[in-house]
Chain A
């Protein structure tokens, strides 16, 4: 082996044996450090995975939704306006949609009721999301009761429980026929909740939206990109909220690490003096301490990232789900698609490993650059 390589190896070996010599202190440091990386990495992975999930789910959403506004609030709109909007150049399809919210006083949850024209759905039957099935403790073939606008209960047969893969958006969903939605909410024929608009060329959407507002001033077009942006803002906000919650833990770690990193014990100082007196240069001592810091921070980084990966992608971020998935009674239960983003990992690395390694080197540099006899006498 070439001398420079062997030199690095020798010093790395000694760094590892030095870490083992102070294993109690170093293990405590690695545990706390790992915990901080785990929390931060979990948040980053989870928020990014949710945003990615939302993006993928919205691929099949309509390009634009047009709602009617009355006194600044969303109001049912005439389904006939669909024809007028379809006539706008660039519009490919306009689909009136029927949906609404239903508060279930028994389970204390808000459900989303939506009409589907899928012919597979039988009359007086519903398809329900996983969250609804869990909360109401029902399965396919069971009956559920929903109270209509007049307070009278209506019975529906659960024909299907929607697949787990779509749970992020379908957890609280109940799909039923348009006729059932109208009768439950007392929505007259000819009115729709909103209109789903599809454009031939998505680049024309802002122009189409402007034309719709010009022609129907009481409407509000909402673009898919705006929905996506809102989702991302919500997830970012929730992630930020969690960071604030964990800020005290992060701060405690910073104080702990700073104290450990910047304060050299008398024993460490003496050891540096011994090493210098027996022929080690300042650069050798710095390399030794760099290895020690790097081993601690890289171990904590890898441990924290791996734990966070398992936590988010295998255990659906159990620790953070209440804060990050929503505040509803019907928490969606789903498994995110495992994926790692190099950019996120790099940012995490720079935020956790580099500051620690740099902080350890400052006091070492101060101790290592004095004459060996001074380091030994101090």
Chain B
């Protein structure tokens, strides 16, 4: 489970034009469930995802992660808990790498390299044997119906294919939590439904899912266990 207590994120704090993107958010995100953050653009959904996913530190407040995998730099035992907001970058990176898989709105694939290499990228700094990583990446891509495109450049993929590559990359380190930011923004209805089907499979596999979206296909999906509505950096309706 992920617990947030009075989390605030202010950009340009101390400067003439500070901007508070997340303002005192407290939230419990249960493990193995699909939680949707809903709200208009600028409501703070993406910022909240980056704080939970250890990509940025909150200005104030606390974020607790429970049930972490064993073997991180902090030598945690399986299922240990951790307050992450005060950790140095190195530890945040280790947690991010092992715990979270990110699916971005713009997919954020590295242009000019192959589908397979994009999927393998997160594992490069781990020093894991390339043969095992490649086998795992191929398995993930085949599972997502991309076996034809293994060696194609990502620049040549359609929107739906690019997103599935991004999903394969998010899953390469077998994360417990999958975070997706507006995943259906660039997909038509059919592809959006397909995406939700995949999320259903991940949920069935026991992964925790956290999706920020203002697409009714996502927040209206029967798969969503909780919908948290945000506006102006605050939670206005939620579980």
Question: Which residue numbers of A lie inside 8 Å of B, CB to CB?
Answer: 1-7, 10-11, 14, 17, 21, 267, 270-271, 273-284, 369, 371-374, 376
Contact = CB atoms under 8 A, between A and B. Distances in A.
Contacts of B169: 278
Contacts of B108: 270, 273-274, 277, 376
Contacts of B89: 281-282, 369
Contacts of B123: 10
A70 B70 CA distance: 96
B170 to A, nearest CB: 8
Given A14-B124, A279-B96, A6 B130 contact: yes
A280 B173 CA distance: 13
A267 B127 CA distance: 26
Given A279-B97, A281-B89, A376-B108, A7 B56 contact: no
B125 A11 contact: yes
A7 B127 contact: yes
Chain B interface extent, by class: 20 to 34
Contacts of A282: 89
B50 to A, nearest CB: 4
A373 B50 contact: yes
Q: Which of A1, A21, A278 has the most CB of B within 10 A?
A: A278
B124 A271 contact: no
A343 B155 CA distance: 48
Nearest to A4: B127
B110 A271 contact: yes
Given A279-B125, A281-B90, A371-B57, A17 B50 contact: no
B93 A279 contact: yes
Interface string B95-114: 01100001010001111110
Interface in B152-181: 169, 173
Contact of A374 (B56, B104, B112): B56
A3 B124 CA distance: 10
13 contacts: A2-B127, A3-B128, A6-B130, A11-B125, A14-B121, A276-B93, A277-B104, A277-B108, A279-B126, A281-B125, A283-B90, A372-B50, A373-B55
Contacts of B67: none
Interface in B31-86: 47, 50, 53, 55-57
Interface of B: 47, 50, 53, 55-57, 89-90, 93, 96-97, 102, 104, 108-113, 117, 121-130, 169, 173
Contacts of B111: 21, 267
A372 B122 contact: no
A261 B90 CA distance: 26
B125 A7 contact: yes
Contacts of A17: 113, 117
Contacts of A376: 108
Nearest to B11: A374
Nearest to A281: B93
A7 B169 CA distance: 18
B130 A279 contact: no
Given A5-B127, A21-B112, 12 more contacts: A1-B129, A3-B126, A6-B129, A7-B125, A7-B126, A7-B127, A274-B108, A277-B108, A278-B122, A279-B93, A279-B97, A281-B125
B40 to A, nearest CB: 18
B127 A10 contact: yes
Nearest to B117: A17
B129 A277 contact: no
A284 B96 CA distance: 15
A282 B125 CA distance: 11
Given A3-B127, A4-B127, A280 B93 contact: yes
A373 B121 contact: no
Q: Which of B53, B55, B102, B173 has the most CB of A within 10 A?
A: B55
Contacts of B124: 7, 10-11, 14, 280, 284
Nearest to B53: A277
B113 A21 contact: yes
10 residue pairs, one from A and one from B, having the closest CB atoms: A3-B127, A279-B97, A7-B127, A21-B112, A10-B124, A373-B50, A284-B125, A278-B122, A371-B56, A6-B127
A2 B111 CA distance: 29
Contacts of B112: 21
A376 B117 CA distance: 20
B121 A275 contact: yes
A6 B128 contact: yes
Given A2-B127, A7-B127, A10-B130, A278 B57 contact: no
Contacts of A372: 50, 55-56
A377 to B, nearest CB: 9
Contacts of B50: 371-373
Contacts of B109: 274
A48 B120 CA distance: 50
